[in-house]
Amino acid sequence: MQANIDSLHPERGLIQLSADASVDIDVDDYKLTRLHGDVLLCEFIDVSEDGDSILRNGIFVPIHSQTKAWRKARVVLAGTEAKWTKEGEIVMFPHNYGVEISKIEVGDYGKVKQGVFLNESRIFGACEPVANEDNEE
Protein backbone atom coordinates (compact mmCIF):
# COMPACT_ATOMS: atom_id res chain seq x y z
CA MET A 1 0.00 0.00 0.00
CA GLN A 2 1.39 3.39 -0.99
CA ALA A 3 1.34 6.29 1.46
CA ASN A 4 -0.40 9.47 0.36
CA ILE A 5 1.51 12.57 1.43
CA ASP A 6 -1.70 14.64 1.31
CA SER A 7 -3.16 12.53 4.12
CA LEU A 8 -0.25 13.18 6.50
CA HIS A 9 -1.13 15.75 9.15
CA PRO A 10 1.71 16.91 11.41
CA GLU A 11 0.72 17.31 15.04
CA ARG A 12 3.02 20.30 15.51
CA GLY A 13 4.33 23.06 13.28
CA LEU A 14 7.15 22.15 10.95
CA ILE A 15 9.22 25.21 11.80
CA GLN A 16 11.49 24.32 14.73
CA LEU A 17 13.98 26.94 15.79
CA SER A 18 16.84 26.11 18.13
CA ALA A 19 20.12 27.69 19.13
CA ASP A 20 21.86 25.24 16.78
CA ALA A 21 20.26 26.95 13.80
CA SER A 22 22.67 29.32 12.12
CA VAL A 23 21.20 31.74 9.62
CA ASP A 24 22.15 34.97 7.94
CA ILE A 25 18.99 37.01 7.55
CA ASP A 26 19.76 39.60 4.90
CA VAL A 27 16.63 41.70 4.54
CA ASP A 28 18.05 45.22 4.81
CA ASP A 29 15.87 46.51 2.00
CA TYR A 30 12.64 44.86 3.27
CA LYS A 31 10.55 44.91 6.40
CA LEU A 32 9.04 41.85 8.05
CA THR A 33 5.24 42.02 8.17
CA ARG A 34 4.02 38.53 9.14
CA LEU A 35 5.21 35.23 10.61
CA HIS A 36 3.81 31.76 10.02
CA GLY A 37 3.31 28.75 12.27
CA ASP A 38 3.98 29.23 15.98
CA VAL A 39 7.09 31.35 15.35
CA LEU A 40 7.53 34.51 17.44
CA LEU A 41 9.83 37.45 16.89
CA CYS A 42 10.79 38.95 20.25
CA GLU A 43 12.99 41.93 21.12
CA PHE A 44 15.23 41.45 24.14
CA ILE A 45 14.48 43.84 27.02
CA ASP A 46 17.38 42.63 29.20
CA VAL A 47 20.35 43.37 26.92
CA SER A 48 22.82 46.27 26.88
CA GLU A 49 22.92 48.70 23.93
CA ASP A 50 26.03 46.99 22.51
CA GLY A 51 24.41 43.54 22.90
CA ASP A 52 27.31 42.13 24.93
CA SER A 53 25.71 42.06 28.40
CA ILE A 54 22.51 40.91 30.11
CA LEU A 55 20.89 42.96 32.86
CA ARG A 56 20.62 40.97 36.10
CA ASN A 57 19.45 42.64 39.34
CA GLY A 58 20.46 46.06 38.04
CA ILE A 59 23.95 44.96 36.94
CA PHE A 60 25.09 44.18 33.39
CA VAL A 61 26.79 40.76 33.21
CA PRO A 62 28.70 39.59 30.10
CA ILE A 63 26.48 37.29 28.03
CA HIS A 64 29.19 34.64 27.65
CA SER A 65 29.28 34.20 31.45
CA GLN A 66 25.51 33.66 31.56
CA THR A 67 25.13 30.67 29.24
CA LYS A 68 22.31 29.23 31.37
CA ALA A 69 20.52 32.55 31.78
CA TRP A 70 16.79 33.02 31.44
CA ARG A 71 15.96 35.79 28.99
CA LYS A 72 13.14 38.33 28.85
CA ALA A 73 11.85 39.80 25.60
CA ARG A 74 8.82 41.67 24.26
CA VAL A 75 6.84 39.89 21.53
CA VAL A 76 6.97 42.00 18.37
CA LEU A 77 5.30 39.59 15.91
CA ALA A 78 3.41 36.35 16.55
CA GLY A 79 2.92 33.69 13.90
CA THR A 80 -0.46 32.77 12.52
CA GLU A 81 -0.65 29.65 14.72
CA ALA A 82 0.56 31.20 17.99
CA LYS A 83 -2.21 30.40 20.47
CA TRP A 84 -1.13 31.73 23.87
CA THR A 85 1.33 34.53 23.19
CA LYS A 86 0.23 37.98 22.06
CA GLU A 87 2.18 40.85 20.55
CA GLY A 88 3.35 43.29 23.23
CA GLU A 89 3.64 40.68 26.00
CA ILE A 90 6.90 40.14 27.85
CA VAL A 91 7.93 36.49 27.78
CA MET A 92 10.65 34.45 29.47
CA PHE A 93 12.63 31.55 28.05
CA PRO A 94 16.04 29.86 28.38
CA HIS A 95 18.93 31.69 26.69
CA ASN A 96 19.82 28.69 24.51
CA TYR A 97 16.47 28.67 22.68
CA GLY A 98 15.79 30.41 19.37
CA VAL A 99 17.77 32.11 16.65
CA GLU A 100 19.16 35.51 17.63
CA ILE A 101 18.80 38.39 15.20
CA SER A 102 19.68 42.07 15.06
CA LYS A 103 18.61 45.14 13.12
CA ILE A 104 15.50 43.78 11.40
CA GLU A 105 12.83 46.26 10.29
CA VAL A 106 9.33 45.14 11.33
CA GLY A 107 6.09 46.51 9.86
CA ASP A 108 4.72 49.40 11.91
CA TYR A 109 6.97 48.54 14.89
CA GLY A 110 10.27 49.81 13.50
CA LYS A 111 13.72 48.27 13.88
CA VAL A 112 14.34 45.39 16.29
CA LYS A 113 17.86 46.06 17.59
CA GLN A 114 18.53 42.75 19.37
CA GLY A 115 16.01 39.93 19.26
CA VAL A 116 15.23 36.30 18.70
CA PHE A 117 13.02 34.11 16.52
CA LEU A 118 11.65 31.20 18.55
CA ASN A 119 8.75 28.79 18.64
CA GLU A 120 5.89 29.56 21.00
CA SER A 121 6.38 26.12 22.55
CA ARG A 122 9.82 27.32 23.78
CA ILE A 123 8.25 30.06 25.88
CA PHE A 124 7.95 29.21 29.58
CA GLY A 125 5.51 32.01 30.34
CA ALA A 126 4.56 35.66 30.20
CA CYS A 127 5.70 38.09 32.89
CA GLU A 128 5.39 41.70 33.95
CA PRO A 129 7.49 44.00 36.12
CA VAL A 130 6.88 43.89 39.87
CA ALA A 131 5.53 47.19 41.21
CA ASN A 132 8.21 49.08 43.11
CA GLU A 133 6.85 49.63 46.64
CA ASP A 134 9.02 52.76 47.11
CA ASN A 135 7.08 54.48 44.33
CA GLU A 136 3.63 53.47 45.56
CA GLU A 137 1.56 55.78 47.75
Domains in the chain, ordered, with CATH?
Answer: 33-127 (2.30.33.40)
Residue 137: the pLDDT is 43
Residues in the chain: 137
pTM: 0.75
- What digits encode the pLDDT tens for the residues 7-41? 555 555 545 555 544 455 667 788 999 999 999 99
For residue 111, the model assigns a pLDDT of 92
* C-beta atoms surrounding 24 within 10 Å: 4
In angstroms, the CA 37 to CA 70 distance is: 24
Give the pLDDT score at 56: 82
pLDDT at 49 > cutoff 90: no
Q: Is 87 left (phi over 0), alpha (psi -120 to 50) or beta?
A: beta
pLDDT band, very low/low/confident/very high, at 6 (cuts 50, 70, 90): low
pLDDT in tens, 114-123: 999 999 999 9
Among candidates 118, 92, 100, which has minimal Cα distance to 16? 118
